[in-house]
């Protein structure tokens, strides 16, 4: 185990559960929760003992892993060395962010998303969007099991922004483009309504069509769209949709 990977384990060590917790989501439910814009793989990590399960066959197809001996450190070792420090900082940032800004108990209501370069079977590296959805936690907020989805996005971009996003579930607000180098005092929240509008915009719907689906006026839709562009620092709808795909929002 390299010192960098050991450092990543140390971030999780103080946050994991002290006993195993079974998850009650079926394999079909897991796969149905995945929305992908490119080749992807997935697995479930149990932070109690760092074991992996529910591994998709595509994981072996994309990467040079041995199905008989694969373990979590193999997966971490496939992260580009120049991006591994970012992943360590991102995981540490998330722990602090949920403790201080959102509430650790709400971790089950968020999908975490950021990008890094991963090594392919042929030895080359490609940009992946990493999404994590916590499945179980103990009463003290310790990490249990988490669904991990890694999607190739190098057909959309080869540039990593080194930022992360939190996509709210169950009506929780979302946060996009969080920087690890800033205090994030001026957090820009995206409501469920705004995320719904982004998804409908990405499907090519007009303001009138979106208004009909959401039972609001086209004028209200237009105001929402202008607010979304301003908060996301996007110049136009095309840039917004591309960034949201890269960040795992849609």
pLDDT score of 140 more than 70? yes
Q: What is the pLDDT of residue 250?
A: 75
pLDDT score of 226 more than 80? yes
Fold for the domain defined by 3-190: Beta-Lactamase (3.30.450)
Q: What is the pLDDT of residue 182?
A: 63
User: Which pTM value belongs to this model?
Assistant: 0.85
| pLDDT one-digit tens code per residue, 161-185 | 898 999 998 889 999 888 887 665 5
CATH of the domain spanning 192-250: 1.10.10.10
Over range 106-126, report the average pLDDT. Answer: 94
Q: What is the pLDDT of residue 156?
A: 86
Q: What is the DSSP string of 42-106?
A: EEEEETTTTEEES--HHHHHHS---TTT--HHHHHHTB-HHHHHHHHHHHHHHHHHIIIII-GGG
pLDDT score of 31 more than 80? no
Domain chopping of the chain, boundaries: 3-190, 192-250
Comparing 29-43, 76-90, 116-130, 140-154, the range with the smallest average pLDDT is 29-43
Q: What is the pLDDT of residue 215?
A: 93
Q: What is the pLDDT of residue 38?
A: 74
Over range 208-233, report the average pLDDT. Answer: 93
Sheet containing 145-152, strands listed edge to edge, beginning at the edge strand earlier in sequence = 51-53, 40-46, 145-152, 125-134, 110-119, 163-168, 174-179, 189-190
Per-range mean pLDDT, top range of 59-73, 152-166, 171-185, 236-250 = 59-73
């Amino acid at each position: 185990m390299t010192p960098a990977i050991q450092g990543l384990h140390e971030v999780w060590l103080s946050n994991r559960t002290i006993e195993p917790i079974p998850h009650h989501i079926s394999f079909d439910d897991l796969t149905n929760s995945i929305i992908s814009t490119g080749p992807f793989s997935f697995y479930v990590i149990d932070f109690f003992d760092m074991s992996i399960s529910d591994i998709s066959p595509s994981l072996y197809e994309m990467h040079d892993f041995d199905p008989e001996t694969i373990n979590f450190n193999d997966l971490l070792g496939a992260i580009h060395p120049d991006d591994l420090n970012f992943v360590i900082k991102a995981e540490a940032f998330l722990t602090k962010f949920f403790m201080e800004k959102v509430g650790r108990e709400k971790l089950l209501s968020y999908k975490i998303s950021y990008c890094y370069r991963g090594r392919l079977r042929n030895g080359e590296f490609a940009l992946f969007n990493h999404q994590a959805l916590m499945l179980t936690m103990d009463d003290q907020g310790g990490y249990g099991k988490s669904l991990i989805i890694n999607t190739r996005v190098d057909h959309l971009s080869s540039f990593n922004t080194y930022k992360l996003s939190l996509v709210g579930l169950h009506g929780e607000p979302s946060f996009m483009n969080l920087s690890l180098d800033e205090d994030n005092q001026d957090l820009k929240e995206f409501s469920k309504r705004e995320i719904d509008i982004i998804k409908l915009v990405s499907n090519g719907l007009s303001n009138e069509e979106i208004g009909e689906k959401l039972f609001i006026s086209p004028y209200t839709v237009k105001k929402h769209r202008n607010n979304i562009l301003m908060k996301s620092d996007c110049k136009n709808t095309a840039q917004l949709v591309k960034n949201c795909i890269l960040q795992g929002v849609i």
